[in-house]
Amino acid sequence: MNQYPCYPDRARLVLDGTWEFRWLGDADLDAVRPETEFFDEITAVPGCFALAGERIGKTGAALCRKRFDFPGGLAHLTFGGLGLYAKIWLDGVELGEVKTPYATIGYDVRCEAGRHELTVLLDNRVGNPEKIPLFKPAIDFYGYGGIYRSVSIMQLPELFLDRVKVTTLEPQNGKVKLELQLGMRSGEELDSLEFTYAFDDRPPVPAIGRVVDGKVTLETAVPGFRPWSPEHPHLHTVTVAIAGDRIIERFGIRTIATRGQEILLNGRPIRLHGVNRHESHPQFGPVQPTQLMLDDLRWAKELGANFIRGAHYQQNPEFLELCDETGMLVWEESFGWGQPEADAEDPAIVDLFAEATAAMVSESINNPSVILYGFLNESCSDTQAGRELYRRLTGVIRQLDGSRLVSYASNRFEHDLCFDLADVISVNPYPGWISQLSDSAPYLAAIRPEFDRIAAWFDSRPDYAAKPLLISEAGACGLYGVHDRARAQWSEEFQADYFSEAINAVLSNPRYAGITLWQFFDSRSFVNNGPIRCKPRGFNCAGLLDEYRRPKLAFDTVKKLFRHYAER
């Protein structure tokens, strides 16, 4: 459960814990009437419904129900993330359908004081384009059914502080811009707003601001400020109060920008040594206990990584807070994996991608760890319809938060039509693994020539030569515990050799701004569907750690190389 933003004066109820449960299997979703169903089990929220017992590995529909007491009035109901499809009722009234897996969902509701009933219909049957339009059958991570993250309901005043966005203007002197985002339920329009603001434990300062489009802005300096960086992840808080409401936001003083082929953190060049991380565990699926997330960050720190790409959906807000606290840089990505051109041509699907991207940005506006926003991994960026979709999503991001860099991971290379839309060009080559030489040639021999060719091609294009170039994925699979003195493919030895060759090829080339290895740990993928012969055990086995976080030989290989290049 994330701590920020915090609203200390509002009544708030966290609905996590045990809920009533009913397995519906292959039920027709449109025919489900919660009031007629008999709930005969219990389930955990956050939780997934097919990780143990007789339903392990099964897909289907299910109902979850929670009864709770609440003071009533105007309130906001929040789901931190769920999937792959949901329909939600409060006290028998349908609030809406959810078709954006992992994205934060919220509803403003009015309810009487007393007992209430929240019911959620869930489904993870991939292949139903009407109910689950974004998650395709061939996506290379498992589509769990469940409520992945925390659920809460919180009272709202008639005039309230929704968020306070904090943007660093000048990190050298602690100057920031505060943007107070207001919510007004009475329909009354305000011309000005009286409020107070206080940084950290300092006394509140009174202020009056002009209200424009429901927002008030103020530029000021943070007293006693300390910049945020991976080496020194200093964090500050700001408390803003108006009549009847108060909000506490946490932030870090840092800027992120580009200069030619460099990425600049607080005005200084930084090279990204990173890993791709799924929210995945054999026992919990995408549900992320705090210790699991923190231990993952400890593994990343030991590895020498300074950067994590969240693949391929909005990340748990608590994980981002832990990254803030530990100094880990983050690529935050909205949902998408291999989306075809047909998706870009469907206005309803385009709207869903825009909705998921806006939810991601709105949730992450004050996390200093987040330096890059991305979307649509390896999707249709080589098509005209795809270009319009990518243009829309970059526009959504920049409208909501222009203080961070925008990128997307492409595997379309010379055929890509959208690189000009990105601040950082990011590509996913797998030479010697997915793309191989002839059967008689050594696979590892393909790695350096391909990375050199990619760098030279982007340098040869005037419109791309002045942008940073990042390898957003590169890697090969290795099965934990499988060893071979001949270093055959799928052995830990082969995988270690692959990562060694890839890291040296990229980080010895000054054209690259960094590398993000695929991947941090093994994660659940196809299970008896899709190209199962390339997914032993139903896992993507490219992790430096296995799914239980046991290090493979490649972990120590990467650790040595990341530390070597960090010292150069």
- As a whole number of angstroms, the distance between CA 217 and CA 212 comes to 9
The token pair at 19 is 């809920």
Q: How far apart are CA 494 and CA 560, in angstroms?
A: 17
Residue range 45-55: average pLDDT?
93
Per-residue pLDDT tens over the stretch 514-537: 999 999 999 999 877 766 667 889
My answer on whether 179 and 312 are in the same domain is: no
Distance of CA 498 to the CA centre of its chain: 27
Q: Which of 79, 3, 97, 52 is nearest to 285 (CA)?
A: 52
Chain segment 72-81, per-residue pLDDT in tens: 899 999 999 9
Q: Are residues 265 and 233 in the same domain?
A: no
Q: Is residue 556 part of a domain?
A: no
Output the pLDDT for position 436. Answer: 58
pTM of the predicted structure, to 2 decimals = 0.96
Residue range(s) defining the domain that contains residue 50: 12-155
Q: State how beta strands 12-14 and 151-155 pair.
A: antiparallel
Q: What is the pLDDT of residues 481-502, one digit of tens each?
A: 999 999 999 999 999 999 999 9
Cβ(382)–Cβ(338) below 8 Å: no
Q: For the domain that residue 194 is a member of, what is the CATH number?
A: 2.60.40.10
**pLDDT band, very low/low/confident/very high, at 124 (cuts 50, 70, 90):** very high
Measured CA to CA, the distance from residue 371 to residue 168 in angstroms comes to 13
**474-481 average pLDDT score:** 97
Average pLDDT of span 277-294: 97
The Cα–Cα gap between 280 and 48 comes to 12
- Could you give the 3-state DSSP secondary structure of residue 503? helix
Residue 565, domain member (yes or no): no
**264 and 407 together in one domain:** yes
237 vs 216: CA distance, rounded Å? 18
**How confident is the prediction for the chain on average, in pLDDT?**
95
**Is 528 part of any domain?**
no
Residues contacting residue 246 through CB under 8 Å, at least 6 positions apart: 7, 8, 9, 161, 239, 240
- Under a CB-based contact definition with an 8 Å cutoff, are residues 90 and 118 in contact? yes
The Cα angle at residue 132 between residues 131 and 136, in degrees rounded to 5: 150
Q: Is residue 124 part of a domain?
A: yes
Domain shared by 137 and 189, yes or no: no
pLDDT at 341 over 90: yes
Strand runs (DSSP E) across 212-254, as ranges? Answer: 215-221, 236-242, 245-251
Region class of 96: left (phi > 0), else alpha (psi between -120 and 50), else beta: left
Residue finishing a domain among 234, 252, 270: 252
Say how many domains are in the chain. 3
> At which of 222, 252, 282 does a domain end?
252
The answer to the question of residue 481 being in a domain is: no
**pLDDT, position 441:** 59
Q: What CATH number is associated with residue 275? A: 3.20.20.80
Compute the average pLDDT of residues 60-74: 95
Same-domain pairing of 276 and 246: no
User: Which of 184-193, 226-235, 339-348, 406-415 bottoms out in mean pLDDT, i.e. has the lowest?
Assistant: 184-193
Distance in angstroms (rounded) separating the CA atoms of residues 409 and 425: 8
Instruction: Specify whether 243 is located in the same domain as 307.
Output: no
For residues 457-474, average pLDDT:
97
329 and 469 fall within a common domain: yes
> What's the whole-number mean pLDDT along residues 458-476?
97
Domain boundary among the residues 155, 184, 214 is at 155
Same-domain pairing of 359 and 465:
yes
A 10 A CB-CB count for 104 gives: 20
Long-range contacts of 235-239 (CB under 8 A, 24+ apart): 235/324, 235/325, 235/368, 236/199, 236/200, 237/199, 237/200, 238/164, 238/166, 238/178, 238/197, 238/198, 238/199, 239/197, 239/198, 239/204
Q: What pLDDT is stored for residue 37 in this prediction?
A: 87
Rounded to a whole number, what is the distance in angstroms from the first to the last CA of the chain?
39
Which residue has tokens 């969240």? 310
108 and 202, same structural domain? no
Do 246 and 261 fall into the same domain?
Answer: no
CB 146 within 8 A of CB 122: yes
CATH code for the domain of 54 = 2.60.120.260
